[in-house]
Structures are given as structure tokens and as C-alpha cells.
Amino acid sequence: MCGIVGYAGPVDGVDALGVVMEGLRRMEYRGYDSAGIVVQAQGALAARKKAGKLANLEELLSLDPLPLAVTAVGHTRWATHGGPTDENAHPHHSADGRLALVHNGIIENYAALRAQLVDEGASFTSETDTEIAAHLVARAYDEVGDLTEAMRLVANQLQGAFTLLALHADVPGTVVGARRNSPLVVGRGKGANFLGSDVAAFIEHTREAIELGQDQVVTITCDSIEVIDFAGAPATTRAYHVDWDARAAEKGGYPNFMAKEIDEQPRAVADTLLGRMDQRGHLALDELRIDASALRSIDKIVVIGCGTASYAGQVAKYAIEHWCRVPTEVELGSEFRYRDPVVTAKTLVVAISQSGETMDTLMAVRHAREQGAKVLAICNTHGSTIPREADAVLYTHAGPEVAVAATKSFLAQVAACYLLGLYLAQLRGNKFEDEVRAILAQLARVPDQIQQVLNSMEPVRALARQMADARVVLFLGRHVGFPVAMEGALKLKELAYIHAEGFAGGELKHGPIALIEPGLPVFVVVPSPRGRDSLHGKVISNIQEIRARGARTIVIAEEGDDAVRPYADTLIQVPRTPTLLAPLVTTVPLQVFAVELAMAKGHDVDQPRNLAKSVTVE
């Protein structure tokens, strides 16, 4: 949600416009509906902004070029206050045009601040909450004569979530930023420095980054980076190296990023599992810096996440309860703190977020810690807020995920949850060491099994193209197949914009069967016949029930499961895996189906309508 880029380069360096526009292109995946850029040149500011995609801004720049500059700020906006119009696009200016500012987030007290400014004679050209920040920072600068101090003073007046970046015509070669509850990272270059919503903004130029903490102000020039907190004191930061390069965030010959990222899933899972054994053959999670005695004493686990991450948590619940015998709940991050949850010092809260900036999940993390719980983050993004505020972090190593809808990050999150469950089982004595090693060996084979699934997906693609006119698709599953069904439905909603729902197979006769009508496509995720109790037979009964009412059954079952053949209009086979690990292979056909159907409908699968990659406001 919203992409921000700031650049301060040397006087004899490259044109800032190109650097910032490239950064905005690399962050298009975050979701946006307008774009703008401002440069500082010849003692003045010059800006261009346009509603719509970045191509609209590029066309405007070709017709009305900006002057050469070595300092610039760019922004892609996802509308909150005010519609996606040219007037509401960022940057926004002070009344005298000497200051320009861009903003990610929501300023919750903007109405009171705007009313105060209007009373003092200010006029506004947009409907945004951002424009009040431009007026306030400009006024503070006129009073104190220092842009960093002006930003600090204003940041203390604002409530809500925000990242602010500002340029001033009187302060050449300088970009000043501030962050609260919204992402901002620094890129340290050679003779140039960068600011961005994430490292994708500057990965083309440097892989050396600096984490900014909560409530900090940063000032960059071509040769300096200074960080203070909102109280004005020097702030502590942490430098880190980004372990992927610009090529990882490029399509590499694929029609879209989503197709590429689906194909990268074997590597994403393998890298998440890599290096997790110590010299004694024990599972070792070095990032898990929570005291072992605290982990042994936990009596409840609460997994929190939003969207796809919450479905990864649903899979985790089955595995953790089975391996560890610890009661495990799964909560939506957006609901957790509003229902007065019961968490104590003996509760472990596991927060799952690809970006590490998901605002609902971040607020849930803060609430859990206030109640005394230990918090473990499962995250794909180094330097992000949720891992920094958690007690410990287990990083997935999926690499950059550019497409808005999650694919490889989901499988990596599930794999990380398995590692956590096995680690706790080993630590608490629920599993013997040889049992843990045996399951890890099974996990190690899964990346090759995912590749086998990917190699056999052409019939699924053909099926999706045939079903491009479908208006409703249902998904059924049981046990770990239930969250897989819900994730399959979510992917179809996100990408194809058609109604899709995932149901637990056992609930079919309690209402959902009323939806079945002749020709209705229903995906059924069938558990292994070698699995728990009699679930396999029960799911076959579900298939018979819906088929008898005319449904078109599309069945995902493991190789060798011949019992389902008579009841499947379409059979999709996946390699045999242990029951708890099955989501790593059964999810893949549903991803491929959703992408192909959406493409057949002519949709942009990387940037679905109304969606943003990182939801940084509640």
C-alpha cells in the first residue's frame, strides 16, 4: 500500500528522476491508483503527478519534462482520504510551493488539524489528510529554520500511521523522512543515499540497508545519514545486507510475476528449510531467541495473521497440536485485540506476515506484548516492523514476492510453521530426536514433490481456460485440506473477481449443500487414504453427495488413490506426502488454476483491482 522513494545524489551524479521512477516501478506491486514525483533543482521544486498507473505519469513527463536534478522524492498512492484524482495524488505542497511532501498511512487527527489551519487562513487544493502535513511542516520550518527539526515537531502532533518524506527548496540536496507505524528503510549507497517503503525501491543501486525504528526522523544527503527519535535524541539503528539482488525482482521471461513466483516455490520452501540442523543432528532455530524454559512452560499458542497468512496459521494449528499437544488458536489480526483475548505470560503468540508491516497484525502483536505474552514473528522481510517488535523471529527465505496475491510466501510460511512445531516438540519432549529427524527428512523431499506438481500443470491450465466464464466456484476440504480449500477460494476471488468459497467438508450438509446446482464447479481436496481415521471415506461421500446434485467435481488426490476416480469429473494427482505436509503440494494446483483463469479473463494478475501488497493501515 503506497510506495515511497527518496534519493539524494552527488552534484555530478545521475539524474534523480530516473532513479526515483525506477524505484516506483519496482514497487508497483504494493498497489496504487495514482503516482507523482518532485525534484529539487535550481533553487526551486518542480513536480508532476497523475491519477492511474505509472505509465500515465511517464506520459505526462514525456510531454512536460522535469529539470535535471540530483534530489527527488516519488510516490504511488492507494486512495484513503479522497478519490484517486490528479489533485489528490502526491506530492502535496505548502502554500508558497517551497516545500513538497509525500505520505503513506492515515493521519487520524487530520480533521481537527485541518480545521485549525483553515481558521488560520490556510487553503487546500485536495481532499487528502496529507496536505495538512505539508502545511504544518512548512510552517514549522519557517519558525525554526531547520527541516529535520520541523519534521520532528510535526510528527509529534500527528496521530495514526504515517511515513512522511519532504523536500524544501531552501535545503538543497536533502531529503527528510519520519515514520510511525508505517514502513521506511534507508539504502546506503556509494556517494548517494536512498529512502524507500521497502528495499525494492533501491535494490538496483545498493544492497546495504538500515532499519528505521518506530518514531524516528531520518535526514539523508548524498554523503550522510542522520537519525533521531521524536524526542530529538540520536537514535539507534541496525544495518543489514539484503540477500537478493535486482534480478530476483524481475520477471525473467515469465508473462507475469505471479507465474514466476509460483514456479519459485520449490526453491522458496527449500531455502526456508535450509541450515536448520546443528552438528548433533538436532533441529536448531538460531533466530528463536526466546529462553528455552519459557517455551517449555507455554500452555497456549495463538497464531495471528490476515488473509493468506491466517490460512498458513490454520495449517500450523493442525501440525502444532498434533506434534506438541499444546492448545493452539488461530485469530485474524484485525479481530484479535478487539475481542479482549485471554493471553498470559505462558502464551506464545505467533504473528505471520509476509511484509512484516501488516498493520492489523502489528497492532495485535503490540496488544499481546502488553498482556505479557511472548511473540514470535514469521516473516519474509528483513528490517520490517513486526520482527523488530516481536521477541523473536523465524524468517522465511522466499525472496521478493512482487505479485500482490501471495503464493510462494504462503508455502514458505507453512514450512516455517512446521519447523516451529517440530522445534517445540523437540524442546518440550513430545517427540524423540529420531522422530523429528524423520519428519525433517520428509520435509526435505517436499521441494522436489512441488516441482513434480508444477511439471504436470498443463491440464489444470487448460481446465481454467475452459472455465473462464464460471461465475461461482466452491472448494471443499477436511483436516489440513480445509485451510487449503479456503486459500484456493481466496486466490480465485483475488485474481478472477468471481465468487468463491472454501468450506469444511463435514459442514456440507449443514447448509452449503444448498448452493449445489447442475454444472457448479467444486474443487475437493481429498485427504490421503493412509491418513487419519476415516476422513478419506467421508470426503468421498461428500463428492458423491454433490455429484448426485449435478456438481462438476474437480478432485485433488494423491497418486495411487484409485478410489476417487469414479467420482471425479476431473482428477488432479499430486505426489504422496504425509498427511500434515500435504498442503505444500495440494495448494499448488489451486494457485495455477486461479492465475490461468484470471489471465483468460484478461485481468492483471500481479496487481488485482482494489488490492495492495502490504496493508499498512487498519
What does the DSSP assignment read for 42-55? TTEEEEEEEESSHH
Sequence-separated (6 or more) residues with CB below 8 Å from residue 504? 476, 477, 478, 482, 485
Q: Are 169 and 147 in contact (CB under 8 A)?
A: no
Residues tagged active-site: 2, 613
Whether the pLDDT of residue 533 is over 70: the answer is no
- Grid coordinates belonging to 542: 461428500
Q: Share the mean pLDDT of the chain.
A: 91
Cβ atoms within 10 Å of 456's Cβ, excluding its own:
16
pLDDT reading at 156 higher than 80: yes
Give me the long-range contacts of 260-265 (CB less than 8 A, separation at least 24).
261/401, 261/402, 261/403, 261/407, 261/408, 262/407, 262/408, 262/454, 262/588, 262/591, 262/592, 262/595, 263/454, 264/398, 264/399, 264/408, 265/407, 265/408, 265/411, 265/450, 265/454, 265/588
Phi then psi for residue 541, to 5 deg, are -65, -40
Confidence bin at 591 (pLDDT 50/70/90): very high
- Tell me how crowded residue 254 is: count the other CB atoms within 10 A of its CB: 14
Q: Residue 579 pLDDT > 90, yes or no?
A: yes
The pairing of strands 99-107 and 160-168 is antiparallel
What does the alpha-carbon distance between residue 93 and residue 84 come to, in Å, rounded to a whole number? 18
Could you tell me the CA-to-CA distances from 459 to 429, 576, 589, 592 in Å, in that order?
A: 45, 19, 10, 10
- Supply the pTM of this predicted model: 0.74
Q: b/e map of 277-306 (b: 16 or more CB within 10 Å)?
A: eeeeeebebeebebeeeebeebebbbbbbb
Q: Which domains does the chain possess? A: 3-243 (3.60.20.10), 257-453 (3.40.50.10490), 458-600 (3.40.50.10490)
pLDDT for 349 equals: 96
Place 125 in a pLDDT band, splitting at 50, 70 and 90.
very high
Separation of alpha carbons 174 and 327, rounded Å: 53
Binned at pLDDT 50, 70 and 90, residue 618 comes out as low
